[in-house]
Amino acid sequence: MNTKKHKAPATLKVPVYEVRLVQARRPLRLAEDSVGDSRTAARALHALIGLTDREHFACLFVNGQHRVTGAHIVAIGGQHNIASLDIRGLLRAALAACASAMVLSHNHPSGHAHPSQEDITSTARIMRAANILQIPVLDHVIVTRDPVVYHSMFVRGTLPNVPSED
């Protein structure tokens, strides 16, 4: 006869996480509420990061009608580059913002808007990761301090051709 009492299994405390989107104190003021073309996107992104003295990487989140629903500064670098880009953080923000798609951007304080090979390579990496989450990258716009000098990778044909994960 077994007289041992059966102990209830010990409970394990596991943290419960919540993802919250926190609105910044300073809103982005836009003349247009949607980004239907690269010129409109460039104006919005210039307002966000165009006049900074260091490189900033940012994105605009848009809904299905390309209306801007939010913006996020992903990384801030030095005067000539951004050392690292946290793609997981960028996508976490896109998911929290319920983005249907996004427009990537960074600035070139030098005034030259042409993308480097590193710009194109990092865009392709972001696009591959975003495709898995079904959040397409519509464009990557490089802005400068001059609001009319920008480079739209979509318009200029330098946006990488990354097949979707469908």
Average pLDDT, the chain: 88
Q: Per the structure, how many domains does the chain have?
A: 1
> Which residue type, as a one-letter code, is found at position 113?
A
For residue 20, is it within any domain?
no
Token code pair at residue 124: 């392709």
Helix boundaries (H) for the chain: 38-45, 87-96, 117-132, 153-156
Taking residues 8-34, what's their average pLDDT?
75
For 94, the domain range is: 38-156
Provide the pLDDT for residue 33.
80
Taking residues 123-145, what's their average pLDDT?
96
pLDDT in tens, 62-117: 999 999 988 999 999 887 778 788 899 999 999 988 999 999 999 999 899 999 99
In this predicted structure, the answer to whether residue 165 has a pLDDT above a threshold of 70 is: no
Taking residues 1-30, what's their average pLDDT?
73
For residue 162, is it within any domain?
no
For residue 13, is it within any domain?
no
For residue 161, is it within any domain?
no
In CATH, what number is assigned to the domain containing residue 146? 3.40.140.10
Instruction: Enumerate residues 6+ apart whose C-beta is below 8 A from 28.
Output: 44, 47, 48, 71
For residue 59, is it within any domain?
yes
For residue 71, is it within any domain?
yes
